[in-house]
Chains A and B, each alone.
With several copies, the nearest count.
Chain A
Amino acid sequence: MNQATHNSTDAVSPVSTTKRLLVVCRTAPYGSSLARESLETALAAGAMGINVAMLFIDEGVWQLIDNRDAHHKGHTETGKSHSATISALPIYDVGPLLADKESLSQRGIDLGRLADDAEIIETVQVINILNSYEIVLSF
């Protein structure tokens, strides 16, 4: 993400809280920078010691296709694909990475192609998850 080097003015300090954050991802990677910005938000929260999970629904599930070795367009030509950032999320204490089963099946996505850390959830659970986190941010 290069954020650490790029944002030298971005002081990140640990925060003491019991509130948990859910980042809801509804956008596909590459077509819009929102997908990338959702990951950056989750990483920032993780770095501050916040309990942060991600929920991938609708077009957001495309973000979970494991494609770390692919060649990429534009802002991903740093060598780091969206998929590579996804796989780094657990290192920064972001998780779980929840993926809506129905969104995946509607799109004909092969579950064997998903990022290792993706956790598939039943569609009926989505409402419960949205309600159980104290803070929700949608992208």
Chain B
Amino acid sequence: MKFSIIILGAPYTDEAAETAFRFAQATLKKDHEIYRLFFYHDGVHNASSLMTLPQDEVQPTSRWQQLIEEHQLDAVVCIASALRRGILNKGEARRFSKPADNLLAGFKLAGLGELVDAALQSDKLITFGPCS
């Protein structure tokens, strides 16, 4: 079956991203397809290249990156949510004359059309909400 997963929480601050990651792993383990990961609301922070944790802790962003690369997943970060929360790719940084960009490789910025498309194309759609 085709699953799509919506992630609304930032790593560390609450558990949504952690639960979503483990759910995604289990989905693939059970031989389902992941049509799309969609990062929305505070979930966009999962795609930050600047998140810095002590080396002996789980690195939530690089863990997503590995899963995305290994399974060639489509990982979309809502562009409107991302800009408002300080997550930019090179193009947006240039367009808005910002001093840097911080979108991790493997993630792409796109609009809410991709969320609607995921809802239409997937057999199963699940949202992991923030603690707020």
Q: A7: which of B58, B60, B79 is its contact (CB, 8 Å)?
A: B79
Q: Determine whether the beta carbon of A44 is less than 8 Å from that of B132.
A: no
CB contact under 8 A between A77 and B57, given known A6-B80, A40-B80: yes
Question: Nearest-CB distance from A47 to chain B (Å)?
Answer: 8
Question: Nearest-CB distance from B65 to chain A (Å)?
Answer: 16
Q: B119: which of A5, A9, A21, A47 is its contact (CB, 8 Å)?
A: A21
Q: Determine whether the beta carbon of B83 is less than 8 Å from that of A137.
A: no
Subset of 29 A-B contacts with CB under 8 Å = A2-B57, A3-B80, A3-B112, A7-B111, A9-B79, A9-B111, A11-B111, A12-B113, A15-B120, A19-B119, A21-B119, A32-B13, A32-B131, A33-B12, A34-B130, A40-B80, A40-B112, A41-B112, A41-B116, A44-B112, A48-B113, A50-B116, A74-B18, A74-B58, A75-B12, A75-B18, A75-B57, A78-B56, A137-B6
Q: Does A106 contact B (CB under 8 A)?
A: no
Q: Determine whether the beta carbon of B13 is less than 8 Å from that of A6.
A: no
Which B residues lie at the A interface, using CB under 8 A?
A: 6, 8, 11-15, 18-19, 22, 40-41, 53-54, 56-58, 60, 79-81, 83, 91, 109-113, 115-117, 119-120, 125, 127, 129-132
Q: Determine whether the beta carbon of A33 is less than 8 Å from that of B13.
A: yes
Q: Determine whether the beta carbon of A34 is less than 8 Å from that of B109.
A: no
Q: B110: which of A6, A10, A40 is its contact (CB, 8 Å)?
A: A10
Q: A6: which of B19, B54, B131 is its contact (CB, 8 Å)?
A: B54
How far is A19 from B119 in the complex, measured between Cα atoms in Å? 9
Q: Determine whether the beta carbon of A78 is less than 8 Å from that of B113.
A: no
Q: Does A116 contact B (CB under 8 A)?
A: no
CB contact under 8 A between A48 and B111, given known A5-B54, A33-B12: no
Q: Determine whether the beta carbon of A78 is less than 8 Å from that of B57.
A: yes
Nearest chain A residue, comparing its CB with the CB of B116: A45
Question: Nearest-CB distance from B118 to chain A (Å)?
Answer: 10
Residues of B within 8 A of A17 (CB): 120
How far is A40 from B116 in the complex, measured between Cα atoms in Å? 11
CB contact under 8 A between A74 and B41, given known A31-B14, A31-B15, A135-B120: no
